[in-house]
Amino acid sequence: MPTISTKDYVLDQARRRITTSPFLTLPGMGWVEKKLLDYPWPQHPWAEPPAGSNLKPVMGDGGLPIISHMIEMFRGGPDFWLHLYRTRGPMVLMDSPIIPSVAALGPDAAQAIYSNRNKDFSQQGWVPAIGPFFKRGLMLLDFDEHMFHRRIMQEAFVRSRLAGYVEHIDTVVSKVVAEDWVADDPRFLLYPAMKELTLDIASMVFMGHEPGTDKELVTKVNRAFTITTRAGNAIIRTSVPPFTWWRGLKAREYLEQYFEQRVRERRGKEGSDLLTVLCQTEDEDGNKFSDEDIVNHMIFLMMAAHDTSTSTATTMSHYLAANPEWQQRCRDESDRLGDGPLDIEALEKLESLDLVMNESIRLVSPVQWAMRQTVRDTELLGYYLPKGTNVIAYPGMNHRLEEIYPEPYKFDPDRFAEPRSEHKKHRYAFTPFGGGAHKCIGMVFGQLEIKTIMHRLLRRYRLELPRPGYQARYDYGGMPVPIDGMPIVLRPLH
């Protein structure tokens, strides 16, 4: 059983303090946040509506110079947006110098944006945030071209293909959870361990490397991938060596070379990893992906799958540690399955885990917002949005509305079960996987992966909080990240 050395632990803690946003760690920031929330920022319109249109202008402000409202956003996440929704209504201008945008809050706004009936909203809203690193990924394509690519990719996510991925996922998870994770140690940090596990899974399931093989190459690819993913959060948003944006572009180049080589190797071969499957898949009319398409899709898929699954499995473990009765209920179902190999049918029987997953991603939604851009002058909820406006829907906030979810901060998975089914009060009240044409194509894949991890974990360990009353805190700068790495104590069951 591996252990954690005190030296490594101290170094890791120090690194964590340096790399976490100072908005969260500097003393006195809670006081600053409160002052900023109460400050009466002078409001101005984003654009004047055309005369006689009866539309309202979206009003807002730029907040502080340069950093705009980053302090409140990074610290409060969905609670900051909830504050704006309650005090200013559903449409709020965030006139930040980095990405000026209009926040469209509440389930009605989500419905209009996701269903996109008149094709007013394009995915180009994502480009200023992640475009250079994930160019031509499925989520960044629009309308007919998007549909064309999605139909081909859909073939890689049909049930028979998913069955193949589950087998690989289970092989990696069983090994890592049993051999690499440290028991009985309150210094064990679940979030980085989970991140490593989901990368190990991706190396096999996405890229086709057998566990333990091609170690040096896989490590390099994973490192490049991590750098690319982080680059979107850069403060200096242009390519200046040695800063984050520049490093992200270099890492993207490396990934392109790696995947080009890998596609050449895997074309025409048999295999049940995602890359080989993408080399084979075609839509009903026989359309296939070019080599370049596969490279772009693979880089995006790795990103889309990785931090989302890591975040979900970490949040679930935290809530199960804090709620032993739910932990036992999930374990009882896992015990009925036992330690045999897993398949989709077996995972479907873990129904309490489904409730816990929903409740965990309601409370801490991995993808807090969806970015769009208007392709023409348009209206949303009676407000005027000129062409080229960046618009952000905010499911992470909608998931905390008490008119939909009574006692919204309480962990209460049964709210998703009949007869309560609180999430059904509005069609767009619960959208952790998005909605409409761009709804997450990997939703079932992700759910199966996460349930596999949780099943193996619950069969082996009792999950405990590091101390009574422990509260997790998140950095909401990108996907929510627990700022202390989320310590969880794993108590072996046998």
The encoded tokens of residue 379 equal 């209206």
| C-beta atoms surrounding 83 within 10 Å | 15
Min CB(133)–ligand HEM separation in Å: 15
Query: How many Cα neighbours within 13 Å face the side chain of 359?
Result: 26
Nearer to ligand HEM, 71 or 330 (CB): 330
Q: How far is CA 332 from the centre of its chain?
A: 29
Nearer to ligand HEM, 32 or 443 (CB): 443
139 binds ligand HEM (CB under 6 A): yes
The encoded tokens of residue 464 equal 């405990």
Nearer to ligand HEM, 62 or 128 (CB): 128
Which position among 275, 397, 440, 483 is part of the footprint of ligand HEM (CB under 6 A)? 440
Min CB(306)–ligand HEM separation in Å: 8
d(CA 368, CA 375): 23
Contact 461, 493 (CB under 8 A): yes
Distance set, CA 91 to CA 248, 302, 389, 411 (Å) = 33, 33, 13, 29
d(CA 448, CA 432): 16
Segment lying near ligand HEM (by CB under 6 A), choices 12-20, 176-184, 241-249, 366-374: 366-374
Tracing tokens 């807002």 back to the chain, one arrives at 60
d(CA 174, CA 171): 6
487 binds ligand HEM (CB under 6 A): no
**R_g (Cα) of the chain, nearest Å:** 23
Tracing tokens 């080399």 back to the chain, one arrives at 279
Which position among 101, 174, 281, 312 is part of the footprint of ligand HEM (CB under 6 A)? 312
d(CA 239, CA 6): 38
Is the backbone of residue 161 left (phi > 0), alpha (psi -120 to 50) or beta? alpha
Min CB(340)–ligand HEM separation in Å: 24
Residues touching ligand HEM, count (CB under 6 A): 22
Nearer to ligand HEM, 312 or 452 (CB): 312
> Helix, strand or coil for residue 434?
coil
Min CB(312)–ligand HEM separation in Å: 4
d(CA 246, CA 231): 8
Q: Is the dihedral of CA 169, 171, 177, 181 positive or negative?
A: negative
| C-beta atoms surrounding 340 within 10 Å | 7
Site for ligand HEM, residues 322 to 361, rule: CB under 6 A: 361
366 binds ligand HEM (CB under 6 A): yes
Q: Is 440 annotated as a binding residue?
A: yes
Which position among 71, 367, 429, 458 is part of the footprint of ligand HEM (CB under 6 A)? 367
Nearest to 47 by CA among 271, 288, 374: 374
Which position among 21, 296, 308, 310 is part of the footprint of ligand HEM (CB under 6 A)? 308
Tracing tokens 């890492």 back to the chain, one arrives at 251
Min CB(193)–ligand HEM separation in Å: 18
The encoded tokens of residue 171 equal 């092989």
Which position among 132, 248, 413, 442 is part of the footprint of ligand HEM (CB under 6 A)? 442
The encoded tokens of residue 341 equal 């190999």
Contact 257, 221 (CB under 8 A): no
Which position among 71, 138, 224, 363 is part of the footprint of ligand HEM (CB under 6 A)? 138
Site for ligand HEM, residues 409 to 438, rule: CB under 6 A: 432-434, 438
Nearer to ligand HEM, 63 or 432 (CB): 432
232 binds ligand HEM (CB under 6 A): no
Min CB(62)–ligand HEM separation in Å: 25
Site for ligand HEM, residues 143 to 162, rule: CB under 6 A: 150
Binding track over 445-464 against ligand HEM, x by CB under 6 A: xx------------------
The closest residue (CB) to ligand HEM is 442
294 binds ligand HEM (CB under 6 A): no
Q: Show binding-site residues.
A: 440
Q: Give residues in contact with ligand HEM (CB under 6 A).
A: 138-139, 150, 301, 304-305, 308-309, 312, 361, 366-367, 370, 432-434, 438, 440-442, 445-446
Q: Show binding-site residues for heme.
A: 440
